[in-house]
Amino acid sequence: MQLMLEGIEKRVGGQAHLYPLDLSLVPGAATVLLGATQAGKTSLMRLMAGLDAPTRGRVTVDGTDVTGVGVRQRNVAMVYQQFINYPSMTVRDNIASPLKLRGEKDIEARVQALAAKLHIEPFLQRLPAELSGGQQQRVALARALAKQAPLMLLDEPLVNLDYKLREELRVELTQLFATGDSTVVYATTEPTEALLLGGYTAVMDAGELLQYGPTAEVFHRPQSIRVARAFSDPPMNLLPGEAATLGVQLPGDVRVAVPLPSNGSRSVTLGVRASALRVQRREGDVALPGTVELAEISGSDTFVHVDTPAGEVVTQLAGVHYFDLGTSITLYLRPSQVYVFNEAGVLLVAPERLTRRDA
Amino acid sequence: MARIDLDLAHAYKPHPTQDSDYALLPLKMSFRDGGAYALLGPSGCGKTTMLNIISGLVTPSQGTVTFDGRDVTRLSPQERNIAQVFQFPVIYDTMTVAENLAFPLRNRRVPADRIKQRVGAIAEMLEMNGQLNQRAAGLSADAKQKISLGRGLVREDVSAVLFDEPLTVIDPHLKWQLRRKLKQIHHELKLTLIYVTHDQVEALTVADEVVVMMRGRAVQEGTADQLFERPQHTFVGHFIGSPGMNFLDATVVDGQLHIGACQVPLPSDKAETLRQAGAFVLGVRPEYVAPAREGEPGAVPARVEQVQDIGTYWMLTARIGEALLRARLSPETAAPSPGQTMWLSLVGPHTCYYKNEELLA
């Protein structure tokens, strides 16, 4: 299914909820809408679903203009943050409801298959209220899948679950999306979730669509500081500097040798991902001395907040590491690993990727 | 400040007969005077019940709670001299920030000059000196919760300060700063802190020791390093780390370690224990699964199922026999292709072995 938004704009009471945007979703693939709260993700999804009509612009499905056509006349499945099921129906009847509405055959077999896929077979006789949050959301997902709609919209479906459940369901969802039966749109505030879901990502900020493309490509080549800021967790370290003869000069007499285009501005911003800062020195590294403000430990990683003369930065170290508050530390950086943005926040330089995935 | 000892259980029913009748299974636990502890686990694991038993909001159905050896099982939170901070701000909107911070002290009839001094010190630590005379009503949720934290920390003579998910309402970008404040304040005041959370980052960052809980049971108490490197229970391996530890069935046959259809030499330091166990589960973290050369000791062939670009590393999903395995591969290595066979080292110094979910070696 080919969903296209052309010159879409949404204003509510004189206030812009969505600035004019064009978006043509890759059919049969999953697109992640990534952005902080209030970025416009839900507003955009409501236009895609037909729950709202745009103030300006056109929505087309497979070339047919559906602008202003309500959700009931469209074939869309939706899953929300809240676990929405029919409270008085059993899990079986919840999943069967879209099938019954369409008068389908083999309903029981289809329900069984979906329940198996989402690991809720043991609960088919129960009411939603008798299930845990994770199980309730699985029921809502099964019902959405039962609809077999060509367009499936998921608005932060995992946000109310605890992180281990999120991890598990995310893997399952990626597999369900990979079948290519539906065009999927998935809203999230979490950059890591976008990377784990793969597919395509549309980065949104303050009602604007900033960039759309294959997820890894958007991550590795953010066109602007705003995209880099939205698509990085922990946030990309952004250090104000000046273009110098052989690279970028940062406060504290830190010089990063990186070739800059000749048409760039004088004041620039150096962008460094947390994972590009290391505590082991390598040949050709730039040193960044500082003091530890906090070491946050996730288990798999330790995020060390460091105050340096060039600014406050965060580094990501794999595994568990301890640092006392106020300890001196020196971080190292390979100059080829930095991003540079010009005065207007436009990308000038992105890191050379060391390896590319074999096609 | 006090050392706290628990030797108790808490059941939902008067005559518990099975594990599921308990909110907390029988346990013994000690909290060192001046230590920072976190109770970590998924919802329903019993962490809040344990906190409420320590504070005196809940009386355990059996056993005792002692503070410095004194039995306080039947005493109220006030009699136990406990300070508490909850998930949502609990403050007086009509009072100023300073009056809110002073409230617990005023209730205990602390002299006015002493109150002034303490309120000043706490406000400085929380970087709220500029707002002391502002009314609490107009403040943001973050600032209100900071006042709640300050009120929990303002009295020096409390037995312990208990926190129940105190940073839930805080904006994600500000969380690390409050975690830092809490850590600093703990270092300066040497309070006994007990902190309930389901967020592993918060638990591992704020506390010196973390108690991981599951279905009414404390399965391991340890430092971040211990929980990551040597999980005492498979649940800890699974719960700490993202993704969690990989688990593979393994057996010892003729002095060789068998994993699926492959065999590798037994690790020499654990050979005897593993031989005696016969069949067990091998646990290895995604961070410690590394690509290996064909036939390398400790390595087995695996079929590549999926390779994801997670930006800062490749996430590999591979199959060894029927079992799925995840590995974090360095972004500086070439990414393998799905369908390809690659060798992965599984047996090394970081590998753990489990029998009946408990760490064997």
Quote the strand ranges of B32-117, DSSP E: 36-40, 62-67, 70-71, 82-85
> Which positions ≥6 away from B166 have C-beta within 8 Å?
B85, B86, B87, B145, B148, B149, B195
User: How distant, in Å, are the alpha carbons of A30, A199, B162, B200, B323 from that of B81?
Assistant: 55, 55, 11, 29, 52
**CATH of residue B119:** 3.40.50.300
Domain closes at, from B208, B238, B268: B238
| Residue B157 token pair | 């003579």
pLDDT of the residue at B361: 92
User: How distant, in Å, are the alpha carbons of A257, A263, A275 from that of A237?
Assistant: 17, 24, 10
Does B244 lie at the interface with A, CB-CB under 8 angstroms?
A: yes
- Kind and range of the H or E run holding A300: none
Per DSSP, helices labelled H in B32-90 are: 47-55, 77-80
State whether B225 and B263 are in the same domain.
no
Cis? peptide before B243, omega within 30° of 0: yes
Residues of A in contact with B227 (CB under 8 A): 299
Domain closes at, from B192, B209, B238: B238
Are A318 and B328 in contact (CB < 8 Å)?
A: yes
State whether B182 and B271 are in the same domain.
no
State the Cα–Cα distance between residues B267 and B270, nearest whole angstrom.
6
Residues 174-193 of B with CB under 8 A from A: 176, 179-180, 183-184, 187
pLDDT band at A359 (very low <50, low <70, confident <90, very high): very low
State whether B117 and B35 are in the same domain.
yes
pLDDT of the residue at A134: 84
Are A325 and B331 in contact (CB < 8 Å)?
A: no
| Residue A322 token pair | 């301890």
Are B333 and A355 in contact (CB < 8 Å)?
A: yes
pLDDT of the residue at A358: 39
Q: Give B320-344 pLDDT, tens digit per residue.
A: 999 999 999 998 888 999 999 999 9
Chain B interface mutation, best of A320, A325, A327, highest count of B Cβ atoms under 10 Å: A320
Phi, psi of A185 (to 5 degrees): -125, 130
State whether B111 and B260 are in the same domain.
no
Are A163 and B200 in contact (CB < 8 Å)?
A: yes
State the Cα–Cα distance between residues A357 and B229, nearest whole angstrom.
31
Does A298 lie at the interface with B, CB-CB under 8 angstroms?
A: yes
Residues of A in contact with B209 (CB under 8 A): none
pLDDT of the residue at B180: 87
State the Cα–Cα distance between residues B310 and A76, nearest whole angstrom.
30
The answer to whether the beta carbons of residues B231 and B224 sit under 8 Å apart is: no
Selecting from B176, B286, B332 the residue whose C-beta is nearest the C-beta of A296 gives B176
User: Looking at the DSSP assignment, which residues form a beta bridge with residue A270?
Assistant: A239, A340
pLDDT of the residue at B12: 87
Domain A3-230 - what CATH class? alpha beta
Does A219 lie at the interface with B, CB-CB under 8 angstroms?
A: yes
Selecting from A298, A325, A357 the residue whose C-beta is nearest the C-beta of B183 gives A325
| Residue A45 token pair | 């999804």
State whether B205 and B334 are in the same domain.
no
Residues of B in contact with A162 (CB under 8 A): 42-43, 198
**CATH of residue B274:** 2.40.50.140
State whether B184 and B254 are in the same domain.
no
A263 has pLDDT over 80: no
State whether B104 and B184 are in the same domain.
yes
* Domains of chain A by residue range: 3-230, 237-349
User: Looking at the DSSP assignment, which residues form a beta bridge with residue A88?
Assistant: none
State the Cα–Cα distance between residues B227 and B234, nearest whole angstrom.
11
pLDDT of the residue at A355: 52
Domain count for chain B, please give it: 2
Q: What is the rounded average pLDDT of the residues A84-112?
A: 94
State whether B264 and B172 are in the same domain.
no
State whether B234 and B247 are in the same domain.
no
Q: Give A212-232 pLDDT, tens digit per residue.
A: 999 999 999 999 999 999 999
State the Cα–Cα distance between residues A306 and B250, nearest whole angstrom.
43
Residues of B in contact with A198 (CB under 8 A): 308-309
End-to-end CA distance of chain B: 37
A357 has pLDDT over 50: no
| Smallest CA–CA distance from A133 into chain B, residue | B43
Looking at this predicted complex, what is its ipTM?
0.88
pLDDT band at A354 (very low <50, low <70, confident <90, very high): low
Q: Give A121-164 pLDDT, tens digit per residue.
A: 999 999 999 888 888 999 999 999 999 999 999 999 998 887 88
Query: Average pLDDT for consecutive 10-residue bins of chain B (361 residues)?
Result: 94 90 95 96 90 96 96 95 92 95 94 95 90 92 91 92 89 82 87 92 94 96 97 97 96 94 93 96 96 94 94 94 94 90 96 97 92
Are A355 and B200 in contact (CB < 8 Å)?
A: no
pTM of the model: 0.90
> Which positions ≥6 away from A346 have C-beta within 8 Å?
A223, A224
Could you tell me the residue range of the domain that residue B209 belongs to? Answer: 4-238
Chain B interface mutation, best of A164, A232, A291, highest count of B Cβ atoms under 10 Å: A164
Does B330 lie at the interface with A, CB-CB under 8 angstroms?
A: no
State the Cα–Cα distance between residues B38 and B210, nearest whole angstrom.
5
User: Looking at the DSSP assignment, which residues form a beta bridge with residue A347?
Assistant: A341
Q: Per the CATH hierarchy, to which homologous superfamily does domain A237-349 belong?
A: Nucleic acid-binding proteins (2.40.50.140)
DSSP state of B266: P
Domain closes at, from B212, B238, B264: B238
- Choose among A169, A153, A167, A179: nearest CA to A78: A153
State the Cα–Cα distance between residues A257 and B340, nearest whole angstrom.
39
